[in-house]
Amino acid sequence: MKKSLLAVAAMGAFASAAQAQSSVTVYGILDVGYASQSVRNAGTIGTTGANGTGLGNAGYGVGQSITSGFTQSAESTSRLGFRGTEDLGGGASAFFTVEIGLQPNATAALQANNRQSFVGLGKNGIGKASIGNQYTPIHEAVAVTSAAAQNNMPGDVVYSGDLSQNGANGVGAGAYTAPNAMNAETQGGPGTGNAGYTVRAANSLKFVSDNFAGFTGKLMYVQASNTQNMSATTNGTTTIYGGGITASTGWAAGLDYSWQKLLVSANVQQFKQETTAGTMANSSGQYASEQTLIGTSLPGGAANTKDNQYYIGTTYDFGILKAYAQYVNRKASTNNNTNIYTQRTGQQIGVRSYITPTIETWAQGGTGKITNNYFPVVNNNATMNVGATMTTWQLGSNYWLSKRTNLYAIVGQERTGNAVYPQTTTGAVTTNNAVSNGVSAYALGVRHTF
């Protein structure tokens, strides 16, 4: 009997030890509240020509729209996640993360999207490597060098809200709209992002090193491609070509340095979309034009683009407050002609501080510029150059009821000005007009983390 009891006790101790070597954590955020947003358009873009051509949008003049109501995810995107680790012995470990975005105010029982899903291996003294759908180095750098902590309200020239993964985080059915956004909510398949940079990348291999003398390095590689055999058939005088390449590739690198109260992060990312697959017909055996290879717009609908992104951020903790400085540069160009591009730059400073042990506040302001240089959809012989300046600011406060629950109030504004839309080279087009537009919003809500 004693031997049986000893055996049971030994098995129980062994089972407890085995369970202690692995762990799974369930975590999440629920963020709901009330918000009001005002979008204002001033000036005119330019009317179309008498022959129906032109780049303008008739009827887009002075106007303002205001929406308000109960909403979600103003301060943080609501989410549900599972995170686990397993001790493999000898300093090695396995780990995974599965995280989905939630829409608490959705009418359906559950509306979710894939924010992160990856599995990896780690080794003490070296680092961790993982494969799946993961945050990019720039996004992780912004998370620790942004005074606004990547909330989804207007007023951030670097992070315009993770619109592609938030779902209906704004008032009503839509998301908060940044009028200064670069026309690239998604980058050709390798990842999804906001106006300033790509947030996450699917089909990615990522390595994060351990901390060595204050330095931490990050590398990411993205690969997803499909190659079809080229073929050609002739129908009378027309040759039809089929096959080609559809590839989404990319890479990223980042380096963080921390010393006492100082943190500096420098990062670079490049994502490339190459699409020559499909069918095309012409009588000369050549592609009809460069425009066909480029696509009908840049960079959102372009089939062949290269997206270069750079980010530098720094923080310094003065004790009574923490100061932040950020710079971002994003340029998407065609693979065939680097003179056809869209570029967006921004710089921003901010502070964050606890006024009392339970009241936390932040403030930030930024400026930026957007430059477009590409062929328009109509009148292929016309070149389009659009320049616009941006100004943003945001104020916010948290009142912490506990370590996991807080009330918040956020107000922010974005303005885009001096945007010039030119004439086309054909048709009786009216004079060009400089336009300005903007968005301002405020939100009151409650956020609970678990």
List, in order, residues 6 or more apart from 326 with CB less than 8 Å away: 142, 145, 146, 158, 311, 312, 313, 346, 347, 348, 349, 366
Residue among 150, 34, 55, 33 at smallest CA distance from 377: 55
Please check whether the domain covering 74-380 is classified as CATH 2.40.160: yes
How far is Cα 98 from Cα 161, in angstroms, rounded to an integer?
A: 21
Highest mean pLDDT among 58-62, 151-155, 158-162, 168-172: 151-155
Confidence of residue 39 (pLDDT cuts 50, 70, 90): confident
Beta pairing, strands 341-354 & 238-259 = unpaired
pLDDT above 80: residue 76: yes
Which range, of 23-27, 103-107, 406-410, averages the lowest pLDDT? 103-107
What's the rounded mean pLDDT across residues 237-263? 81
For residue 48, the model assigns a pLDDT of 36
Question: How many residues can be counted in the chain?
Answer: 450
Map out the domains of the chain as residue ranges: 74-380
Please state, in angstroms and rounded to a whole number, the distance separating the CA atoms of residues 256 and 264.
6
d(CA 72, CA 167): 10
What tens digit of pLDDT does each residue of 158-214 get?
Answer: 997 643 333 333 333 233 333 333 333 222 222 333 578 888 898 999 999 999 999
pLDDT for 334 = 79
12 is written with which tokens? Answer: 């129980």
Confidence of residue 386 (pLDDT cuts 50, 70, 90): low
Lowest mean pLDDT among 56-70, 206-220, 417-431: 417-431
With cut-offs at 50, 70 and 90, classify the pLDDT of residue 438. confident
Mean pLDDT, the chain, whole residue set: 74
Give the integer Cα–Cα distance in Å for 113 and 45. 36
Distance in angstroms (rounded) separating the CA atoms of residues 316 and 264: 9
Is the per-residue pLDDT at 20 higher than 90? Answer: no
How far apart CA 55 and CA 424 sit, in angstroms, is 7
Out of 4-18, 398-412, 425-439, least confident range: 4-18
Confidence at 17, pLDDT banded by 50, 70, 90: very low
DSSP string, 127-179: EEEEEEEEE-HHHHHHHHH-TTTT-SSS--SS----HHHH-S-SSTTSPPP-T
Res 232: pLDDT: 60
User: 379 vs 339, which has greater pLDDT?
Assistant: 339
pLDDT at site 278: 53
Stretch 134-158: mean pLDDT, rounded?
Answer: 94
Q: What is the pTM of this model?
A: 0.79
Give dist(CA 257, CA 177) in Å, integer. Answer: 34
Given this model, what pLDDT does residue 344 score?
87
Q: How far apart are CA 138 and CA 265, in angstroms?
A: 9
Backbone angles phi, psi at 141, to 5 degrees: -70, -40
